[in-house]
Structure 1
Amino acid sequence: MYYLELIQRFWTYNQNAQVGSTAVAMYLYLLKTAYSNGHYDFTISDVAISRDLGLSRNTVITTKGRLRKLRLIDFKTKNGLPCRYRMIINYPIDNSGQLELLKINMEESINDKTSLDIKMAEDIGTEANVSSCLNGNSSKENAIVPSKDILPLKMKMIIPEIEEYLEYAKTLDGYDSTLEFKIRKKYSEWLEKGWCNNAKRPITNWKSSLKSALPFLLDSNLGKTLYEGTIPKIRRPQYPSDKNK
């Protein structure tokens, strides 16, 4: 097992993905456990991890799920038995990790907001029903039930892979191969901003956003082309009167 090489690979990966301090601690702990066992597959209980890292059991369960979504580990659980882990050693270390983490964060954020809004809606309904009972009217017909309109709609923010993004860019009018670097840079900028544009608004239709951004990339590329190179020296034409001087 190439223990030191895998540690270095993970730090390189984390520079792009920024998985979080808890996930970092748990991944390195699992890697150290694999090294001690001399194999990428091993078993260890959530209770043991919780004790050694000082984390709650729920945090351990959530974090290992997060690491699996990032494709850093895999595991299998069975009631009454320690969890069986497998360290994945051939995961990509480019910005795909950043993309996966962004998707996970968005999913967790949506789920947290949905749970909070459902709880608020339930509280509103409960308070209204209690008020109805206190007023002497507790019939089912007059009981207030939270409307489904109160619950949030999940906003679908589709984030393409870089390959799909570039392939679509090539189909747009005005696309030129010299723009590929700037198009890639725009993709990275949107990722770093949480898949939002310069106005900090979520990008819900990335194809439309890219199509709108392309003319500005063309303009900047044109300006660069116009001002590249040296300016030729222009000689003043000679007139017959100049020769007599």
Structure 2
Amino acid sequence: MRYEKFAKNFWNTYDYQTLGITSVAMYLYLIWQMEKLQTENFSLSDSQISKDLGIRRNTVKICRDKLRASGLLDYEIPKGGSVYYDFKSNKSLINNEAKEELKSEKKVPPKSKNVSSEINFTKPKSIKRSSIHQLSQSQISDLQSQIPTFAEFLAFAKTVEFYQDHLENLLKEKYDAWMENCWKNNLGKPITNWKLSLKNAIPFLKNNPVETVSLNQVPKIERPAN
């Protein structure tokens, strides 16, 4: 049950395309280990992960840092021992469970009188656009009032701990991609806090493993139905 809970939360919440296939495979491998050991805290050596997934130990470290930066897990490295993984600190899972508890505690509101026959409601037409260039001028103005210029975007990036000068071109590509997608991420979700989104994205731009791993090597990897 632990595997199903953590896997479903991962697919429904995280931008797995940004994480990369190697980090995704490692996360699913770790929650499979968690299910097998029946605990959300356990120790596992880098050499064991490297052997099971067929990746280098340095790649294991890079992926582990990505997963922690995304709030998927936490870990400690004791002196002379295996890495101690902690999944109880999964931020999105904690937030989602809290939301579900809050929903269950809310009282069902009393039924309102049916006044639809007395009032003529006109349903507004929805506007679906795939690119910011297809929006009207007024819509573009409204959108631009909520997002920074690239100069502001870059200036903030330079204050982030992992920023390096060679990332500027990659940041320009990231900024342009968000603009082309009407200021939404790769999953089509609106970017409501661009500074936090940018801060989380920079480690992925800085550390991008070139190795890949076949998902066939990881047991029980299935994306649950929504």
Q: TM-score range by the shorter chain?
A: 0.3 to 0.5
Greater relative contact order (Cα 8 A, min sep 6): structure 1 or 2? 2
State the TM-score, normalizing by the size of structure 2.
0.43
Structure with the greater alpha carbon radius of gyration: 1
Higher helix share: 1
